[in-house]
Chain A
């Protein structure tokens, strides 16, 4: 009985998750005529036309490159800034620490719709409009607090005796932090990087507002499949399928860190 429960539930759940994705993949191999003329569970006349359109047009595939550049920049900045801060929160008490922690979290709660216009004005004023770094910095608003939160939990799980022993052994703070401490919380860094990557990759509103051409993300380029001659469903589906791939690669790399488990500390 218990066995059955443990097989059926994950299987049913995964099927539920995969059916809409299958429909997208299915559509991406169909011709537009086949898509709009009726339902078919698999492509009757499989075509690669939709993918060819994307891979041969630089205004299409540059969208993927732009997205990946700002997402990676954002992940690196967020985790690098969050590491020392998370260490401070997990190891010391200092003036205003609790308020500071909650204030950081409040930024995770800020709706993107609220910040879109001010971001546009701020980055335009600095001449950063339509650059990758602008989107990467703007996404720090919600990713840095999350990274601090996750890393603090992992760090609190490391006994403080390890820090003290290292200092007694003559390690300076930077040397201890990079050589001893960071390997200890490697899975925490992996999990934090995964969440930063994820939330930056999927965000649409801010990325779209802060870019025009040079750094335009794929999610914004996709909207142009709607033209005067109707919707180009096939290309839209193919573009959607391609957005799945970078995420799938990242989750493949961090699967072991998540499987190892974590109980986050301060909430």
Chain B
């Protein structure tokens, strides 16, 4: 058991100050805007909860929320299993390890709007390889005009961009399993599946929790990539909440933007708390299944 020591607060103090400055003060500004209205000239007056009502009564908001939830659910359902499979198949020693790690981490280190640019070009049928190849095979593909194609492009892009994060974390969890576990399993004559189910998966549970949480948060907050690739279109079919928020900000809708910001933040908090609570329970359920249970449409 860890000893109780109130002096530990001094060690936490730098982090507390740093995060308080960059989180609490800006958050107060947002709260401030969300309850006021303005006619310009820096004159504000009390608007109560009217901005919140406006946001919550707008169909546009609910549609964007639905799209966000659907996107995150699909992303988790593909990336977590795929990332684990790749991690299981990766070499454990030799030169292959470094090659795999460096090449796989490459997409993670590309700035997000560059990722968008790469995929925007890549999927264009006149100058891009993917669009051109699909057109050559006679597939009717157009990410600019067809909503389904736009969605498929965004999902493939996100899988390309982020699956490696899951792989890296899962791999780090896998190599930390001591050899003795595998030897014991071999003596017991355990099958490949039961080695995975009873040794590798439980040992990966913690890193996978982090992977699921990070992937949920970031896919729910996705902004730069769809902004560049589809610009929210065709129509509004790929307008996620972050894009709507940026639109409000661009048109100087301070109050409504702030109210929407806070609602958005609270939704992410709620879902992250659910994941956190479900996955850190004493008898944690299988983490690779968690997205199916909680990530679905409401």
B45 to A: closest C-beta gap in Å: 19
Residues from 81 to 108 in B contacting A, C-beta threshold 8 Å = 85-86, 89-91, 96-98, 100-108
Q: Select which of A21, A80, A93, A201 is within 8 A of B4 by beta carbon.
A: A93
Per-residue 0/1 for B272-284: is the Cβ within 8 Å of any A Cβ (1 yes, 0 no)?
1100100110000
CA A82 – CA B14 in complex, angstroms?
8
B217 to A: closest C-beta gap in Å: 5
CA A14 – CA B108 in complex, angstroms?
13
Residues from 219 to 257 in A contacting B, C-beta threshold 8 Å = 219, 222-223, 233, 236-237, 240, 243-244, 246-248, 250-252, 255-256
What's the dominant secondary structure at chain A's contact region? helix
Which residue of B has the minimal Cβ distance to A26? B129
B242 proximity list for chain A (CB < 8 A): 111-113
A92 touches B2 (CB 8 A): yes
Which residue of B has the minimal Cβ distance to A119? B26
A267 touches B97 (CB 8 A): no
Q: Select which of A92, A122, A140, A149 is within 8 A of B29 by beta carbon.
A: A122
A53 proximity list for chain B (CB < 8 A): none
A109 touches B269 (CB 8 A): yes
Q: Which of A3-11, A44-52, A54-62, A178-186 contacts B (4 or more CB under 8 A)?
A: A3-11
**Contact of A212 with B by CB under 8 A:** no
Which residue of A has the minimal Cβ distance to B280? A267
A65 proximity list for chain B (CB < 8 A): none
**Contact of A213 with B by CB under 8 A:** no
Which residue of A has the minimal Cβ distance to B216? A109
B268 touches A259 (CB 8 A): no
Per-residue 0/1 for A20-57: is the Cβ within 8 Å of any B Cβ (1 yes, 0 no)?
11011001000000011011010000000000000000
Which residue of A has the minimal Cβ distance to B103? A14
Which residue of A has the minimal Cβ distance to B14? A81
Q: Select which of A35, A82, A145, A251 is within 8 A of B101 by beta carbon.
A: A251
Most A CB within 10 A of own CB, among B14, B27, B96: B14
CA A18 – CA B268 in complex, angstroms?
32
Q: Select which of A198, A223, A262 is within 8 A of B172 by beta carbon.
A: A262
CA A5 – CA B86 in complex, angstroms?
10
User: How many residues of chain A have a CB within 8 Å of chain B?
Assistant: 100
A171 to B: closest C-beta gap in Å: 16
B276 touches A39 (CB 8 A): no
A119 proximity list for chain B (CB < 8 A): 22, 26
Q: Given the known A-B contacts A9-B89, A201-B111, A247-B110, are A118 and B25 also in contact in the complex, defined by CB atoms under 8 Å?
A: yes
CA A138 – CA B26 in complex, angstroms?
10
Q: Given the known A-B contacts A111-B265, A198-B109, A240-B117, are A205 and B22 also in contact in the complex, defined by CB atoms under 8 Å?
A: no
Q: Select which of B11, B12, B122, B176 is within 8 A of A263 by beta carbon.
A: B176
Q: Select which of B90, B96, B105, B122 is within 8 A of A23 by beta carbon.
A: B122
Which residue of B has the minimal Cβ distance to A209? B249
Q: Given the known A-B contacts A109-B269, A113-B242, A198-B108, are A261 and B15 also in contact in the complex, defined by CB atoms under 8 Å?
A: no
A20 to B: closest C-beta gap in Å: 5
Per-residue 0/1 for A204-219: is the Cβ within 8 Å of any B Cβ (1 yes, 0 no)?
1100000000000011
B14 touches A85 (CB 8 A): yes
A243 proximity list for chain B (CB < 8 A): 110-111, 114
Given contacts A35-B127, A219-B111, A244-B110, 4 further A-B contacts (CB under 8 A): A17-B107, A87-B11, A91-B5, A261-B176
Which of B's residues lie within 8 Å of A, judged by CB? Answer: 2-9, 11-12, 14-16, 18-19, 21-23, 25-27, 29-30, 85-86, 89-91, 96-98, 100-114, 117-119, 121-122, 126-130, 132, 160, 163-164, 168, 171-176, 192, 203, 206-207, 209-210, 213, 217, 220-221, 223-224, 241-242, 245-246, 249, 254, 257, 261-262, 264-265, 268-269, 272-273, 276, 279-280
11 pairs across A/B with beta carbons < 8 Å?
A17-B160, A39-B132, A93-B2, A115-B30, A118-B25, A118-B26, A141-B23, A247-B110, A262-B172, A263-B172, A267-B210
**3 closest pairs, A vs B, by CB?**
A247-B109, A261-B175, A118-B26
